[in-house]
Structure 1
């Protein structure tokens, strides 16, 4: 989980940004990832706290 304030500080360092900016960009990420389609979830909102990336991640091009 990444807190909203921490996320905003990392994305927009030294710049004042409204919390609505974060909401707009998280929404764009969800659309790009097709979050919520076909039962797939990638980004989950933790109300009042922040966001969590919940999908499994694999490194591409690696053989076992």
Structure 2
């Protein structure tokens, strides 16, 4: 992931992902392993704007699809119902970004 370029890569190929879903990923990675509340995520992605919780659900689903979360037994994001989300996968930093 190249957060400075707002780009998610799989190998050397860009993964299509909207800016809000990518912002969710960055927020989760910054607090990797910790429970991040839905309120914290919504405040981060939609600052100073009221949005319905369904917006978070839609963009989190897009993020999970892009990561292929749950496929082949791989888990990246765990939902704690009513509370928030946790990024649980290990992450390798590359020399070209985060």
Normalization by structure 2: what TM-score? 0.61
- Pair 1:4-2:42 in alignment: no
What runs of 5+ residues in structure 2 fail to find an aligned partner? 1-34
Provide the aligned length of Structure 1 versus Structure 2.
62
RMSD in angstroms over aligned alpha carbons? 1.2
Gaps of 5+ in 1: none
Q: State the TM-score, normalizing by the size of structure 1.
A: 0.91
Instruction: State which structure, 1 or 2, has the greater radius of gyration over its C-alpha atoms.
Output: 1
How far apart are 1:48 and its partner, in Å?
A: 1.1
Q: Distance in 2 between matches of 1:37 and 1:48?
A: 24
The CA distance in 1 between the partners of 2:73 and 2:46, in whole Å, is 31
Which stretches of structure 1, 4 residues or more, deviate above 6 A after TM superposition?
Answer: none
Partner Cα separation in structure 2 for residue 50 and residue 12 of structure 1: 16
Deviation string, structure 1 residues 4-50 (Cα, Å, up to 9, x no partner):
00110010001111000000000000000000000000111011110
